[in-house]
Amino acid sequence: MPQSVAVVLAAGLGTRMKSNMPKVLHRVAGKPMIQHVINSLRFADVENIILVLGYQAERVESVLGAGFQIVYQKEQLGTGHAVLQALPLLQQYSSGDCLVVCGDTPLLRGQTLKRLREKHNEAGAKATILTALLSDPTGYGRIIKNAQGVEKIVEEKDAAEEEKAVREINTGAYCFSIESLKEKLALLTPANAQGEYYLTDVIKYLVEDGEKVDTLLLTDPNEAMGINNRRQLAEAEVQMRRRILEKLMDQGVTVINPDHTYVEEEVVIGKDTILYPGVILEGKTRIGENCEIGPNTRIVDSIIEDDVVINYSYLFQAKVAKSCTIGPYSYLRPGTVLAEGVKVGDFVEVKNSYIGPGSKVPHLSYVGDSTVGKGVNIGAGTITCNYDGVNKYPTYIGDGAFIGSNTNLVAPITVGEGAYIGAGSTVNKDIPAGALAVARGKQRNIENWKSRAQGTGKEEVREDKNHD
């Protein structure tokens, strides 16, 4: 196809969103809605994108980053006025096509915009309008046609009663010949009920000149949805997530209940993995094959290899190797790396640590800033005391070590290979390989305690002679 440019209209205040944030930055399936529009344009092979910004323009620019040409619409005087702001930049293009789309239409597919460009160029049209058939077209501009084709687009407030009955509506997306668009933009005037510059008047001028104006009817009218309030934002979220899940299911992923499963667009999942209800997968998460995820598990920007089972847990920027078992109620924080076959059980928190192959942290423990070897067993209630109030310190646990329940490992500390730590110990010195460390107070047994407490017995205290 010929050279292309796109103008994205994203200057509106979005007052009905009742928000301090620019409307186009509200997220749908984890991304700002304008990012979905930009991604669709890239899919349609659009080389150059011009953003028309207004309200909090600098905030939109900082979110989207580089790679765009920016113009500003300081006054909100209609869609035609918005595109007029891009006219100086459009002058650098002498031929090709120009897509004009709205930044608040996140459901608009890249395949649709590609078909719009293709039809426009195949028909040799000066303009091609993306249209939809709606059962209730209230609020939309109507496509008025005659025997020759498109006659005009009439806005709701300017439409006669018979025109309001027309169900084919203007979605606000167009493909123009660049030469024709530049020529007709210069003719726009605010001669309408709103006192605005209508981009649709460009269509009127082309029709009056006898130029070919074509249409492309959407197969899915929902793609045309513009987001103006929180209700529409929620509806777009539902539709976008359903679209993502359907794609995953077609690729061999089992989704037990799509209505209660939330997966963002960039997540990759291998075949035969099962997603249970309540699963939330975000960011650049990668999940392998034959995994069981959920129920009620959230995973963000993490890598999960094959054959992993995770239940009722939260993983954030973690890496999990094959055949691990996680949960219920585990929390894997950034920097966590689990080697193959690791078990992390209920109410365990791991942060910035490596857990070696086959090691187990079954329950009620915290492992932070640690390196744990293979085949290690960490008993319930164990804590790595990695922070002294000022600095963080590491813990090293060698292969095959056994850490008894309710142990406090005061870092920095090294536990040698095959070492043992008795339950209830607080250790702050390195433990040699194969040694047993016991660090707890001597046990005292007070004989006849019950009778003494009731005033009927004599206190006898015995120390455990075998404990030191």
Q: What is the mean pLDDT of each run of 10 residues along the chain (468 residues)?
A: 89 91 96 97 96 96 95 92 96 93 97 97 96 92 92 89 94 96 93 81 94 96 94 97 97 98 97 98 98 97 98 98 98 98 98 98 97 98 96 97 98 98 97 96 86 66 51
Q: Which residue has the tokens 């953003």?
A: 51
Q: Are residues 120 and 97 in contact, defined by beta-carbon separation less than 8 angstroms?
A: yes
Beta 370-372 vs 436-437: how paired, if at all? unpaired
Name the 3-class secondary structure at 171. strand
**What is the C-alpha end-to-end distance of the chain, expressed in Å?**
84
Q: pLDDT (tens digit, 9 = 90+) per residue, 14-45?
A: 899 999 999 999 999 999 999 999 999 999 99
Reduced 3-state DSSP string for 179-214: HHHHHHHCCCCCCCCCCCCCCHHHHHHHHHCCCCEE
Q: What is the pLDDT of residue 449?
A: 85
Which helix (H) or strand (E) element contains residue 234? helix 230-250
Please give the Cα distance from 125 to 127 (Å, whole number): 5
Please give the Cα distance from 366 to 328 (Å, whole number): 15
Q: Are residues 394 and 369 in contact, defined by beta-carbon separation less than 8 angstroms?
A: yes
Closest to 307 in 3D by CA, of 271, 279, 333 = 271
- Count of C-beta atoms within a 10 Å radius of residue 91: 10
Name the 3-class secondary structure at 276. coil
Q: Would you mind telling me the total number of residues written for the chain in this entry?
A: 468
Which residues lie below 8 Å from residue 392, measured CB to CB, with a gap of 6+? Answer: 368, 369, 386
**Backbone phi and psi for residue 463, each to the nearest 5 degrees, phi listed first:** -95, 150
At 175, list the tokens: 């493909």
List binding-site positions for Mg(2+).
104, 228
Q: What is the pLDDT of residue 117?
A: 97
Cis peptide before 258 (omega within 30 of 0): no
List binding-site positions for acetyl-CoA.
380, 386-387, 405, 423, 440
Closest to 79 in 3D by CA, of 235, 217, 222, 226 = 226
Q: At what angle do helices 178-185 and 200-208 cross, to 10 degrees?
A: 100
Please give the Cα distance from 467 to 456 (Å, whole number): 30
**Backbone phi and psi for residue 334, each to the nearest 5 degrees, phi listed first:** -55, 140
Q: Are residues 383 and 358 in contact, defined by beta-carbon separation less than 8 angstroms?
A: no
Q: In the chain, how long is the greatest CA-to-CA distance?
A: 115
Closest to 149 in 3D by CA, of 134, 169, 132, 128 = 128
Q: What DSSP designation does 441 have?
A: P
What the chain holds in terms of domains, given with CATH numbers, is 4-224 (3.90.550.10), 246-437 (2.160.10.10)
Q: Are residues 210 and 159 in contact, defined by beta-carbon separation less than 8 angstroms?
A: no
Q: Is 363 one of the catalytic residues?
A: yes
- Count of C-beta atoms within a 10 Å radius of residue 302: 23
List binding-site positions for UDP-N-acetyl-alpha-D-glucosamine.
9-12, 23, 73, 78-79, 141, 155, 170, 228, 333, 351, 366, 377
Name the 3-class secondary structure at 113. helix
Q: Are residues 184 and 111 in contact, defined by beta-carbon separation less than 8 angstroms?
A: no
Choosing from 36, 260, 363, 467, the catalytic residue is 363
Please give the Cα distance from 281 to 262 (Å, whole number): 6
List binding-site positions.
9-12, 23, 73, 78-79, 104, 141, 155, 170, 228, 333, 351, 366, 377, 380, 386-387, 405, 423, 440
At 392, list the tokens: 């963080």
CA atoms within 13 A on the CB side of 137: 24
At 274, list the tokens: 């099962």
